[in-house]
Structure 1
Amino acid sequence: MAASLGKSTDLSNPPQHPPQPQPLDLSKKLRKTPKKVSPRKEPVEVAPIAGSSKAHDAAPWSWKSLTQSSPSRIPVLFTKDGSYFFSAAASSVKIYSVATGHVVSTLSSNETNASVAPRNGDAITCMILNPSNPFQLITGSVDGFIRIWDFLDAILLRIFDVGQPIFHLAAHEKFKDEVYVAVTKPSKKANHQDEDNGVVLRLLLKPTPSTAKARIQRSSDVSAVGKTRAPTGLALSPSGTWLVAIAGRKAYVAATSDLKAGFTKFVSPEKLTCLAFHPHEEYFATGDDKGVIRLWYCLNDRLPSKSTDTEKKAPTTTLHWHAHAVSSVAFTSNGAYLLSGGEEAVLVIWQLHTGKKEFVPRVGAPITTVAISNAKESDEEYVLGLADASYIFVRSATLKISRTIARIKLDPSVSNARPSSPPSVPLSVHSATSTLILPSSHASSLQIFAPSSSQLLSELEVSPSNRVSRREEKPLEPSRVDRAVISESGEWMVTIDSREDDEISQTEIYMKIWFWDRKTASWILNTRIDRPHGLRKVTSVAFRPGQHSKNDGQITTTGEDGVIKVWRIRSTKSKTGESEDYWTARSTLRFRSEIPVHSSWSFDGSIFAVAFGAYIVLYDPNNGVPIQTLTCPEMTRVSSVHFVGRSGRYLVSTSTHDLVLWDLLSQSVRWSYRTSSEISKTVCHPREDVFIVFETPPSNDSASPLTKVLTFTPSSALPSQTRTLPFSTLAVVPCPTTWTSTKNSSSFALVAITGAWNVVLLGDDIEIPADEGSDAKGIRGISLAPKRTLFQDIFGASAFNNDPSLQSQNVVADKPLSSWKGKEVEQIFDTPAYILPPIDTLFDTIMDNFLVIKRNSSEKGKDEVDGEDEDVDMDVEDTGNGGEIVVGNRERTVGPEEFSDMVELFKQHAIRSNPGAPANMVNGSTFTNGLHSKPNGIGAYPMTSKLSGTTPQRDKSKAAAPGISTPTTQLSPTTACTGQKRKKSMDH
């Protein structure tokens, strides 16, 4: 064998402060050294065990989380005008802009009195808008506090102390300053935490006289409605007549007019998980843990006047598609459809009158919440909260995903839960785009995240697999991405994904090499290698660094099969003459019967080191020949080996409790260090001769910090700095200095994945700018008034409003009408409608004065030509040389829906239809819209149209001007319309 083994390789005592050499070719230097070395004359420097008097005092290390602690289980809540929505995140409420998807403000619940210690944390569990004041947000939290916010000015108005953890809130405009809360109490029975420990309370949001001026107040009126088990839902009916709570396998119903009577219990076959009330009718829907949805018709006057322990059965309708538990249900605003979601990652839209269903599949992760936006029916959107803390918007008209609001998708609570301590976690930095490569919410995918903009750019599905893989009660093991390593140039990435054998399939291990396409800004699969190390696991992957030609690019992999493999690029020409690159095995290396556990390259790529048990072997990458073998009696089993700094002179090796620093120029051990805790990670500085070590204390040592971070330099065996972190780390990599504002070039900036699967940024003296909207800021632009329509711009606000306060009394009713000029046209419609003449007599004059065409400067001298039969282009977006439309002397963008309404007005008043044509005739055919009956005996609901009245059909060529779409013909309530994908159903 070309390599020699020395048990004691320290030839001399090295200087205390050696000069820092430039990068050099270590392979040439090591070849000139003798194969056999003499025994060590002087002992190496050995540092004391960590924690002794010579060790530095530990101080907390600065860090910042790039992800929120966990996804919210509370549906998002929209403002009245639908411009913003609220999302609960741990102890804060984030306010998102619907238009941009960005966080504009954050309401933090840490506004309690410092003298009051939080009980069981302060995570927000429920939130509602104040029905008496829609500019106020009411939240409940685990610490037992009800907080009332003025979210326009980001002010915490009041805090009420309930005294027990709050999990659900309900309120109604019928009961001013009253809320209903579902709280829990500790169970008095041993090992029965979920039994008989729920209580529904009625609270008056007015403080007692003694706490009126205190920061934390108590309600002046608190009464108990009734006891339940651990509550999973609480809601009031649309009329405010009924209060419903669900817990366990029961639905608890109480009449708000007689709360002293308590709850009437109705039994469900399975455990109930979610609750939603119909927006107009007196019935509610629930989902259970077996995937069944029930519509309950038990709200009537036949309920007993007094509560009894007798459990009743209610008439219900069942809807079943979900294979697993239903996480959330919600009715659309018109009450015609019911939405449901769960672990299957599929949104189900149920048409209640027919029982038919439609699907929005593969939304990306299990659905935890479903909400409906506060927009008009044509623009209504369904907002899905996913288990990976992202939000999906689905348009109701097309049932297509319109947009996604997401940051980093990491959550261990998804269906395919990750192991608590995986052997390796994929984490890399793509220097070409300054992005992070992270594991995604599904184990078989990776995600690409940009820390500079805090945006999730894309998701890479490394191994296609089923997102829902639970068969009955046993989850199927998915293919997991274990490693992701990117080359120094950023052009190549290696991933290792594997799946253990089970009853169905055998062990699968794939090494996939991806190429970065700059044109499309995406990763493209270039080479797939099945079982690179047989059925054994891959223990390490490393790219050759430095500036090399394409033919010199190499990848080293080590496996539990005892083999080191070196891979290189080869090129081939296709039939079209284009050159195509792919990767293939170059050489296979072994060292005795040892198992390689880790490999590392020097900075210039002239040598690579492999750890074999108690040995470290240095190899020449050009021919694969071993150059030198290093061993040290302090280390019986090496777990990792790393080159320190850009010069590559020093090599650090670690074991469970030992560190050994080698000087490769003198081929000697410079110093060694023993820790009292287990060494979990070692990270070297990318530019300086500095490295850090992460220590994890014993799990039974609760007094010690969770993780200790030690910083070393080659000049001393004692750590130069000792810091602590309040979490464990699963993966750590250096990050570019461009992500931080540190001014010290020798400082560390790291990205880590914690044991709780959060992504954090670590650094020395870094100043990380706060995320946009992370502070409490006032928001403006919210208005409860509906948006102005084209008719209101033309005819005034009072033209289509019956509110007398909006009608001006300044216009004299008996004033004779004269020629109108300018703004006088607007004033005429401030007169009460019953005094004005018919619209047919005023139409032409009104339109001549309101629709004024602005000509371009080049056309000012031209004569204007009017023609009765000439069509006018009303397309505002493309005016060409004809100028722009000014409506009511004010410029405003007019949407297509308002044009449709204008066309309808022209058809009714400007164009005379055939009086002899039937009212419901459309192209010679009569269409009817039939009634659909509910399943299981549900009553029928008539269909009502959006526009009142009937519209006679006319020639389409004269119906609208170019660029204006003809509106859908009015359907009568008794005809059936075919060819429509979905039928909107309105209430009586």
Structure 2
Amino acid sequence: MAAYREGRVVVRGGADLVKNRPVFSSDSKYIFVCSGHTVKIFSAASGDCVRELRAHDGEVTGVVVNPQNKLQVFTGSMDGTISQWDYMDSVLLKTLYVRSPVCGLFAHPSHPDSLFATIFDEKSDDNTRLKLVKIKIPKQAGQCVDVVDQFVTGNVQAGDKGVAFGARGEFIATIMRNTLKIVFMKDMHLKKLSPDRTPLTCIACHPSDYCIAVGDEKGRISVWRNFHKKERRALEHWHSLRVEDLCYSPEGSVLYSVGHECTLVEWRHETLQKKFLPRQGAPINHIAYAPNSQQRALSLMTNAMLIQSHLTTTQTIQGLVRTNFNQKREDYLPIGLVIDPHTRALVTNGMVGQLQFYQLDEDRLLFSLDITGENYISPADLQQPLFHTEVEKVAFDPPGDWMATVERRDDKQTSPELRLKFWEFDQLKQSFVLNTVISEPHASRINCLSFRPSSSVSHDTHEPMAFTTSDDGKFKLWAAASDDDSQKKGRSWGCESVGFFRDEIPSCACFSADGSLLIVSFGNVVTTWDPDVNVLKKTLCHGVNDQHIEHVVFGHGSAAHCLISASSSVLNVWNLLTCTVMWRVNMNVSVLVADTESEFVATFDRSGNLFVFHPLEPKLVYTKQNLPTPSVMAAVFIPLTRTDSSSSGGSHLLPWEEHSHLYFVTKGLMLMTETSQLHQQRVSHADMEERLPPTPFAMLLNNQQRKAEKEEGVRMQDLPASANMREMLQAPAHILPPVKSLCATFLQGLLDPGTKMLKRKEERDMDESDEDSDQKSDSEESDMDMETAGGGAVNQSKDTGNGTDQSQDSEDHKDQSELQARSGGQYRTQALSEADLRRLAKVSRSGLKWMHKVFQEIY
């Protein structure tokens, strides 16, 4: 059966952040990093990825700031295009079509109308050599423009370490093998320097002087001076391995060099005296300096980038950690992909002897857990790397309370070291704490490790259980038991039973969904065991196929009785209720994984094809032919949460991904997933909605909301400094003056309204006392009217005057000058004592100058 809905493979993380040199923006606030087919823009202050530039179909090989507009960048790609971007809004302005893949992109302010690129030389014999060309930035309008390149020099090294501008752009220096070539831009004169046969690795030019620094494979740095007349060469040797990158500071006073020693070396330009900043954590691949001379970026070979200010690392940008930067082995991701039940993070191999917990939602490293307690040591020879203790297996029990790890070191000269460790999750520390260390749990390498499902504990005990299989021909069951002899109550792990089958070597194993059965494969035979008593129940063998079984998984849900086994060429589905083969198919399986939240099973073959099927039916639920990267090393189903399901929308998901998402990692450590095109378009549309103009209905709602906010602000106008606070909070942060200039004004705004409110309160109290006295006088005069007939006119005039005062008070309530006029004129001031009048006058004259004096002394 074909797929219900067309799917699409998308990259979800793990892209290489350190393959190319990072580039700072002109204001040093952002860092541009080439990452696969995109360019990620990171904030230098926070280290967060704030934007992404997506337009290329091929790998992005270079990014430069537009010499004519500092708010724009150019990006070059292997798809043969150069894109012009407004990076503040992530808007693609123009696409330049080059007739060859762009392997490097360069620019310099002294050549504002040109770009320089390294492309393939079609005139070379093998069509693999690169040449440096000059490309005029087109001025004509249009979204797509064809450009013509001008030849500068040929036979150029690939990457961004082989080309550099010097002396304010007066010359361009390139390297190839052991030759240094200098092209003077004024007359295009070419000069070559080749002192010896040592291959060159990187180059850097002084920004203002005629000086070139070149690094080579032996770790030496050659500094060439006065080469436009009669060259002088100074040779410095500190690095024990090859020099990875060189960089001058913007003013040219310091030369920086980096390499495999995990140390940043600082060389003074005039004297070549050196200083060191050691222990950077990993070999350094690139170094870039910010235009403000206050920050620099170091790219580590572990796919991390350090942002430093002077001698301090201010931010760390970490991608999916790469562990194979100096090791030559095929399986450099031995533990595959595992899910942490607590954090839902992806767990895989990190730095040497560490596990990395990777957050898929945010594409960032959550934290690393040191398992072996060993530091990285650079080797004496890159062709003979040192042997470190590596974490080869990891497993979590379903609740996430326990974690088991297997670490091994084998240098082929001394006795191998093998340790099985059990870690307990500490609720207070919110991390795993070492509980038990078992040295030499097997006589040979452990090839499988897993926990028993938590719902499968036996009737006699509630302790967790794990199993290991080894090349020594045995499998062992491990259980946690209480420490009766220890004064401190706790549990430790020990071996409960050992099993074997003939003289065969167990290759893989797994528990059933309910944990009642343990499946262990020996050669081409599948054996079933009762884990509680370690008794062999059944043996399953297909007579036609004699190949060794490499993968076994159990089905779940309605297919919980199905066992899927796969060898190098055949996939079998067994029915354990009848102990028969339900169906089989010829397939060269490389990865086999089952979804614990549904009945579906996914498999990858060695040709780069994905197949999803239901164990009960020999029909494909989904298939994806010819994946972009065929070498899939590991895969895992990650269960969806309620938030994920509601945000994704069930109708936009593939039917077999309604409960979980399938993630897989390639040999290039690219983390990918398979999703429907409708879901991908929905996610892209959600991102685009933030940049689209509002519809008329949205504008109407916005106006109504603003009107409501305005009315609310009118009701709140008597609150202290509400207008000042609203003005400061609504203003864009980049146009505000320094904070110290706003402090005095802001505090004055907080204090003055409070003083005015105090005055108004005293005025209302005075009015109320006047009204009380007027009412008392009126009552006395009304009593007199019964005796004297002439007092009515007087009382009427007084009542009229009092009403006039009340209307003026309501109209001129906010004016302080009129308040003083009323208090001295029309109001009956005889009701206030002289002390009250002096107190009122003192408050009205208060200017709070003492507060101004305090803040002037502070700032």
Task: Please report the TM-score for the alignment, with normalisation by the length of structure 2.
Answer: 0.73
Please report the RMSD computed on the Cα atoms of aligned residues, expressed in angstroms: 4.1
**Aligned match of 1:541 in 441, 449, 466?**
449
Aligned partners of 1:94 and 1:105 also within 8 Å: yes
For structure 1, which segment, 57-66 or 584-593, has the greater mean C-alpha deviation from structure 2 after superposition?
Answer: 57-66
**In the alignment, which of 62, 72, 75 is matched to residue 136 of structure 1?**
72
Conserved 8 A contact 1:465-1:479: no
Letter of the 1:204 counterpart:
K
Give the distance between the partners of 2:16 and 2:208, measured in 1 at CA: 34
Q: 2: CA distance between counterparts of 1:458 and 1:136?
A: 35
Distance 2:746 2:447 in 1: 77
Partner of 1:294: 222
Matches within 5 A, 1:792-941: 855=751
- The alpha-carbon distance between structure 1 residues 249 and 538, as it changes in their structure 2 partners (threshold 3 A), is same
CA distance in 1, matches of 2:657, 2:97: 50
The answer to whether structure 1 residue 724 and structure 2 residue 641 are counterparts is no
2:114 to 178, 199, 204: 178
Q: Which runs of 5+ in 1 are unaligned?
A: 1-54, 111-120, 304-313, 698-705, 795-846, 863-881, 889-893, 895-901, 903-959, 965-988
**Partner Cα distance (1:339, 1:361) in 2:** 13
User: How do residues 343-354 of structure 1 correspond to structure 2 at under 5 angstroms?
Assistant: 343-352=260-269
Pick closer, same or farther for the CA change 1:571–1:334 going to 2, 3 Å: farther
Work out whether 1:270 is the aligned partner of 2:171.
no
Q: Does 1:671 align with 2:582?
A: yes
Q: What letter matches 1:387 in structure 2?
A: M
CA deviation after TM superposition for structure 1 residue 69, in Å = 4.3
Q: Residues 564 and 572 of structure 2 are in contact (CA less than 8 Å); yes or no, is this contact kept in structure 1?
A: yes
**Aligned counterparts, 1:609-758, within 5 A:** 609-636=519-546, 637-646=548-557, 648-665=560-577, 667-669=578-580, 671-675=582-586, 677-697=587-607, 706-714=608-616, 716-724=617-625, 726=627, 727-738=630-641, 741=648, 743=650, 747=658, 749-758=661-670
What's the CA shift string for 1:316-341, capped at 9, x where partnerless? Answer: 33333222222222223343332222
SS in 2 for 1:489: coil
**Structure 2 vs 1, CA of residues 718 and 230 (structure 1 numbering), >3 Å: closer, same or farther?**
closer
Residue 253 in structure 1 maps to residue 182 in structure 2:
yes
Residue 421 of structure 2 is matched in structure 1 by: 512
Could you say which residue in structure 1 is the equivalent of 2:379?
469
Residue 500 of structure 2 corresponds to residue 500 of structure 1 = no
- 2:50 counterpart SS class: strand
**Amino acid aligned to 2:410:** E
Structure 2 counterpart SS, 1:426: coil
CA contact (8 A) 1:105 1:777 kept: no
Shift in Å at residue 556 of structure 1?
A: 1.1
Of 652, 673, 681, 1:761 maps to 673
Q: State the match for 1:320 in structure 2.
A: 237
What is the identity, as a one-letter code, of the residue corresponding to 1:131? Answer: P
- CA apart distance, 1:578: 2.4
Q: Tell me the secondary structure at the aligned position of residue 146 of structure 2.
A: coil
What is the rounded CA distance, in whole Å, between the counterparts of 1:108 and 1:430 in structure 2?
Answer: 31
Deviation, 1:585, is 0.9
> What CA distance in whole angstroms lies between the structure 2 residues aligned with 1:693 and 1:144?
35
Alignment correspondent of 2:320: 408
Q: In 2, Cα distance between the equivalents of 1:581 and 1:88?
A: 49
How far 1:186 sits from its partner (Å)? 4.4
Residue in structure 2 matched with residue 583 of structure 1 by the alignment:
493
Match of 2:211 in 1: 283
Contact 2:477 2:496 in 1 (8 A): yes
Instruction: State how far apart, in whole Å, the 1-side matches of 2:739 and 2:597 are.
Output: 64
Displacement of 1:239: 3.0
Whole-angstrom distance in 1 between the partners of 2:254 and 2:584:
68
Tell me, yes or no, if the aligned pair for 2:17 and 2:319 is still in contact at 8 Å: no
Q: 1:82 is matched with which residue: 28, 32, 42?
A: 28
Distance in 2 between residues matched to 1:684 and 1:758, nearest whole Å: 21
Contact (CA 8 Å) 2:203, 2:214: kept in 1 or not?
yes
**Which residue number in structure 1 is paired with residue 834 of structure 2?**
none
Cα distance in 1, alignment partners of residues 588 and 88 from structure 2: 51
Measured against aligned partners, the alpha-carbon deviations of 1:846-892 in whole angstroms (never above 9, x if no partner) come to x9999979659889999xxxxxxxxxxxxxxxxxxx9998899xxxx
> What's the TM-score, normalizing by structure 1?
0.64
Which amino acid letter does the alignment assign opposite residue 453 of structure 2? P
Deviation at 1:543, TM superposition (A): 0.8
Cα offset, 1:448, TM superposition: 0.2
Q: 1:371: which partner in 2?
A: 288
Structure-2 change in CA distance of 1:285 and 1:163 (3 Å):
same
- Indicate which of 227, 230, 234 corresponds to 2:157: 230
Deviation of the 1:773 alpha carbon: 12
Indicate if the aligned counterparts of 1:107 and 1:775 stay in contact, CA closer than 8 A.
Answer: no
**Aligned pairs for 1:160-175 within 5 A:** 160-175=96-111
Amino acid at match of 1:730: M
CA separation in 2, counterparts of 1:381 and 1:150? 23
Distance change in 2, residues 1:153/1:661 (3 Å): closer
**1:204 partnered with 2:154:** no
Greater mean alpha carbon deviation, residues 222-231 or residues 588-597: 222-231
1:826 aligns with none
- Residue 500 to residue 186, structure 1, CA distance change in 2 (3 Å): farther
**Contact 2:204/2:248, CA 8 A, preserved across alignment:** yes
Residues of 1 paired with 2:639 and 2:227: CA distance?
62
Conservation of the 8 A alpha-carbon contact between 1:159 and 1:215 = yes
CA contact (8 A) 1:180 1:203 kept: yes
What is the CA distance between 1:610 and its match in structure 2? 1.9
Corresponding residue for residue 439 of structure 2: 530
Which digits, 9 at most, give the CA deviation of each residue in 1:240-293, with x for residues without a partner?
Answer: 33333333323322333322x334546466332222233444423222222222
Give 1:566 shift: 0.9
Whether contact under 8 Å (2:132, 2:156) holds in the other structure is no
Contact 1:58–1:724 at 8 Å: present in 2 too? no
1:553 partner letter: P
The equivalent of 1:560 in structure 2 is 471
Distance in 2 (alpha carbons) for counterparts of 1:495 and 1:584: 14
User: Paired residue for 2:354, among 445, 456, 471?
Assistant: 445
SS in 2 for 1:133: coil
Higher RCO structure (Cα 8 Å, ≥6 apart): 1
Q: Which residue of 2 aligns with 1:923?
A: none
Aligned to 2:365: 456
> 1:603 aligned to 2:504?
no
* CA–CA distance in structure 2, aligned partners of residues 554 and 886 of structure 1: 72
Q: Report the identity percentage.
A: 23
* Alpha-carbon distance in 1 for matches of 2:398, 2:672: 23
The code of the aligned residue for 1:458 comes to F
Q: Deviations over 1:79-104 (max 9, x none)?
A: 22222221122343222222332333
Mapped partners of 1:256, 1:490: distance in 2: 64
| Shift in CA distance, 229/241, structure 1 to aligned 2, threshold 3 Å | closer
Paired residue secondary structure (1:327): strand
Structure-2 separation of matches of 1:122 and 1:760:
16
In structure 1, C-alpha distance between the alignment counterparts of 2:736 and 2:755, rounded to whole Å: 35
Tell me the secondary structure at the aligned position of residue 201 of structure 2.
strand
| Alignment match, 2:705 | none
Q: Secondary structure at the match of 1:257?
A: coil
Structure with max Cα Rg: 2
Distance 1:517 1:885, change over 3 A: farther
Structure 1 381/226 Cα, relative in aligned 2: closer, same or farther at 3 Å?
A: closer
> Could you list the per-position Cα deviations for residues 880-919 of structure 1 after superposition, in whole angstroms to 9, with x for gaps in the alignment?
xx9998899xxxxx9xxxxxxx9xxxxxxxxxxxxxxxxx
Q: Is the 8 A contact 2:5 2:676 kept in 1?
A: no
Secondary structure at the aligned position of 2:568 is classed as: coil
Q: Which runs of 5+ in 2 are unaligned?
A: 693-729, 760-847
Inter-partner Cα distance in structure 2 for 1:569 and 1:325 = 50
Q: Matched residue of 2:408: which SS?
A: strand
Kindly state the Cα deviation for residue 451 of structure 1 after the two structures are TM-superposed. 1.5
Q: Cα distance 1:454–1:213, how it changes in 2: closer, same or farther (>3 A)? A: closer
Question: Displacement, 1:436?
Answer: 1.0
For the residue of structure 2 that corresponds to 1:258, the secondary structure is coil
